[in-house]
Structure 1
Amino acid sequence: MDCNAVSIKSLGLYFGVNSDLFSRQYKNKLSDYRAWDQYSHACEYLVFPQNMGKFLSIDETSLSNGELYTILTNKSASGKKGTIIGIFKGVEAYSIISRIREHIPKQLLRQVEEITLDLSPTMNAIAKSCFANAKRVADRFHVQSLTYDAVQQIRIEYRWEAIEQENNEIKHARETDSEYSPEILSNGDSPKQLLARSRYLLFKSPNAWTSSQKERASILFQKYPKIAQAYELAMELKEAYNHRCQKEVDWLKLAHWAEKVRQTGFKSFNTIANTFFNYYDNISNYYTNRSTNAAAESFNAKIKDFRRQFRGVVDVRFFLYRLTKIYA
Structure 2
Amino acid sequence: MKAAKEKGEVYKAEELENGDTLRQLLARSRYLLFKSPDKWTKSQKIRAELLFKQFEDIKHVYYYSLELGKIFSTNYDKDVARAKLALWYNKIEEYGYDTFTTVANSIENHYERILNFFVNRSTNAKEENKAMKAAKEKGEVYKAEELENGDTLRQLLARSRYLLFKSPDKWTKSQKIRAELLFKQFEDIKHVYYYSLELGKIFSTNYDKDVARAKLALWYNKIEEYGYDTFTTVANSIENHYERILNFFVNRSTNAAAEAFNAKIKAFRASFRGVVDMSFFLFRLAKVYA
TM-score relative to the length of structure 1: 0.45
How far has the Cα of 1:246 moved from its partner?
A: 3.5
Gaps of 5+ in 1: 1-24, 26-63, 66-152
Give the Cα separation in 1 of the matches to 2:220 and 2:189.
18
1:251 and 2:213 correspond: yes
Give the Cα separation in 2 of the matches to 1:284 and 1:292.
12
Aligned residues: 175
Give the Cα separation in 2 of the matches to 1:243 and 1:156.
35
Are 1:154 and 1:227, in contact at CA under 8 Å, matched by a contact in 2?
no
Give the Cα separation in 2 of the matches to 1:322 and 1:183.
66
How far has the Cα of 1:174 moved from its partner?
A: 2.1
Change (3 A) 1:239 1:317: same
2:191 pairs, out of 229, 233, 238, with 229
How far has the Cα of 1:292 moved from its partner?
A: 2.1
* Greater helix fraction, Structure 1 or Structure 2: 2
1:202 and 2:136 correspond: no
Amino acid at match of 1:186: E
Counterpart for residue 263 of structure 1: 225
Change (3 A) 1:246 1:164: same
Are 1:159 and 1:195, in contact at CA under 8 Å, matched by a contact in 2?
no
How far has the Cα of 1:284 moved from its partner?
A: 1.1
1:276 pairs, out of 212, 225, 238, with 238
Give the Cα separation in 2 of the matches to 1:209 and 1:297.
32
2:150 pairs, out of 168, 188, 205, with 188
How far has the Cα of 1:298 moved from its partner?
A: 4.2
Q: Percent identity?
A: 43
Change (3 A) 1:297 1:240: same
Which 10-residue stretch deviates more, 209-218 or 175-184?
Answer: 175-184
How far has the Cα of 1:295 moved from its partner?
A: 2.6
Change (3 A) 1:301 1:157: farther
* Greater strand fraction, Structure 1 or Structure 2: 1
Give the Cα separation in 1 of the matches to 2:217 and 2:274.
45
1:170 and 2:132 correspond: yes
Amino acid at match of 2:243: D
Give the Cα separation in 1 of the matches to 2:263 and 2:122.
34
1:179 pairs, out of 113, 131, 141, with 141
How far has the Cα of 1:303 moved from its partner?
A: 7.7
Give the Cα separation in 2 of the matches to 1:259 and 1:301.
39
SS of 1:182's equivalent in the other structure is coil
Report the structure number with the largest CA radius of gyration.
2
How far has the Cα of 1:277 moved from its partner?
A: 0.8
SS of 1:196's equivalent in the other structure is helix
Root-mean-square deviation (CA, aligned residues, Å) is 3.8
How far has the Cα of 1:195 moved from its partner?
A: 0.9
How far has the Cα of 1:253 moved from its partner?
A: 0.4
2:175 pairs, out of 213, 218, 222, with 213
Change (3 A) 1:322 1:161: farther
